[in-house]
Each structure stands twice: as structure tokens, then as C-alpha cells.
Amino acid sequence: AQTVTQSQPEMSVQEAETVTLSCTYDTSESDYYLFWYKQPPSRQMILVIRQEAYKQQNATENRFSVNFQKAAKSFSLKISDSQLGDAAMYFCAYRSPPPFYTGANSKLTFGKGITLSVRP
């Protein structure tokens, strides 16, 4: 079974600075998807960024970027120019693609999350 590990339960960053959140995963598959979700105090789960394993280029979404190291099974999230609104819990998640033409499902497996605080 796939596992996702977020070893740091909490992190803190100064406003306008850069912070990196770590995530490792374990899988025997070669093709899969990785995600970072943000959960602010409102409780809503918000997709921040997605990476396909077959793509070597690291995904980027505005101030958010990832460092995807497939061989090391590492998927870290970098937040640049941190803002107060970035304060939230962040979850790393893994998903394998469904087999073609079978209709079989695949499921999202989450890490335990990391709480990010932003200091003004």
C-alpha cells in the first residue's frame, strides 16, 4: 500500500519569506499523481498544486512550486513571498492512475498534514 509521510507537524515563516514543506511517499508504481492541498481555518480543502509523475518538470502555480524528486520519492512544496493568508494546514497526497478501460477507481492517500503559521 502507498504511504505518504509528512514528518514536520508544524512550521513557521516570516511574512514575505520563503518556506519549504516536506513530503515523502512510498510506492512501487511508476505512474502516479501527487498533490498539495491547503486547509485554512474555514475547513475547506483547496487544491494548491498537482504533479504528474511522468513529467520531469516541476509544477508551478504563482507563488507555489514543487521540488519533485522521483528517485528519492520526495515531493516538497515551496511557498515564496509568504502571505498571512497562507497560514493553514497543508496536506500532501498521492494517487495512482486507474487502469485503462477497466473503470476501476483509485484513491487519494493523504499525509498527516503540517500546520504552517505566518508571522507578520
Query: Which position among 44, 60, 69, 117 is part of the footprint of another protein (CB under 8 A)?
Result: 44
Q: Check if the beta carbon of residue 88 is closer than 8 Å to that of residue 39.
A: yes
Stretch that binds another protein, among 13-21, 61-69, 78-86, 111-119 (CB under 8 A): 111-119
Q: How many CB atoms lie within 10 A of CB 37?
A: 21
Q: Which of 28, 100, 105, 120 binds another protein (CB under 8 A)?
A: 105
41 touches another protein by CB under 8 A: no
Do residues 34 and 49 lie in contact, with contact meaning Cβ atoms separated by under 8 Å? Answer: no
Query: Which member of 50, 70, 73, 78 binds another protein (CB under 8 A)?
Result: 50
Residue 55: how many CB atoms within 10 A of its CB?
10
Of the residues 33, 73, 74, 76, which one makes contact with another protein according to CB under 8 A: 33
Q: Could you count the other beta carbons within 10 Å of the beta carbon of residue 115?
A: 14
Q: How many helices (H) and strands (E) does the chain have?
A: 0, 12
CB proximity list for 85: less than 8 A, separation 6 or greater: 40
66 binds another protein (CB under 8 A): no
Considering only 26, 31, 45, 60, the residue that binds another protein (CB under 8 A) is 45
Residues at the interface with another protein (CB under 8 A): 4, 6, 33, 35, 43-45, 47, 50, 91, 95, 97, 103-105, 107-113
